[in-house]
Chain A
Amino acid sequence: MDAVSYPNPKVIDFFSKHLIPVRILINSKPLPQRFKVQWTPTLVLLDEEGEEHHRTVGFLAPEELLPSLMLGIGKTYFDRELFTESEQVLGQLLKEYSKSDAAPEATYYLGVGRYKNTHNAAELKKTIESLQTNYPGSEWTKRASVYQLL
């Protein structure tokens, strides 16, 4: 991460705009124990109250790190029932990084967030149709498959 992803100008810009980044040695105390981290690199995204909403383990290149962080921010808003903010971030993710590994999960959360915001079941149907079209092999397409029955 230090050699490839963190020096990337787009990554630096994203961190500056959206994140308070904290570096923690894996053999320090007490945060590795508190967050049950056993391996590096592990990234954990928290809200300002210190509640975890997203984590990744292992190396991510810039073109995967950025959408992963955007997904985490979108999930943070989703968890806090800020569905409009979540939709904004996840929509931007899908616009800029539609081929990334984070995109299918972002499609899922975008759709269920729209459903929770509107209570319109058509949003769930649209979600599974989008996943089947764009990410047919994704686990998130399987997880959304029940929406075909609506």
Chain B
Amino acid sequence: MKIQWIDNFESALNDAKREHKHVLLDFHNPL
């Protein structure tokens, strides 16, 4: 099991509405 990240902001908002969840943005630097 691991966190299921998504990369589309608009999809995240739609998913949050449908699933009654909150959106978490993780701004990161892979280096």
A residues bordering B, Cβ < 8 Å?
A: 1-2, 6-7, 9, 11-12, 15-16, 18-27, 31-32, 35, 37, 40-50, 69, 72-73, 76
Lowest 5 CB-CB distances: which A-B pairs, in order?
Answer: A48-B16, A46-B23, A44-B25, A42-B27, A40-B29
Q: Known A16-B4, A48-B16; judge A72-B22 contact (CB<8 A).
A: yes
Which of chain B's residues 1-31 have a Cβ closer than 8 Å to chain A?
1-9, 12-13, 15-17, 19-30
B residues bordering A, Cβ < 8 Å?
A: 1-9, 12-13, 15-17, 19-30
Residue from A2, A11, A32, A50 in contact with B23 in the complex, judged by beta carbons closer than 8 Å: A50
B5 touches A23 (CB 8 A): yes
Q: Known A48-B13, A48-B17; judge A22-B7 contact (CB<8 A).
A: yes
B6 touches A22 (CB 8 A): yes
B26 touches A41 (CB 8 A): yes
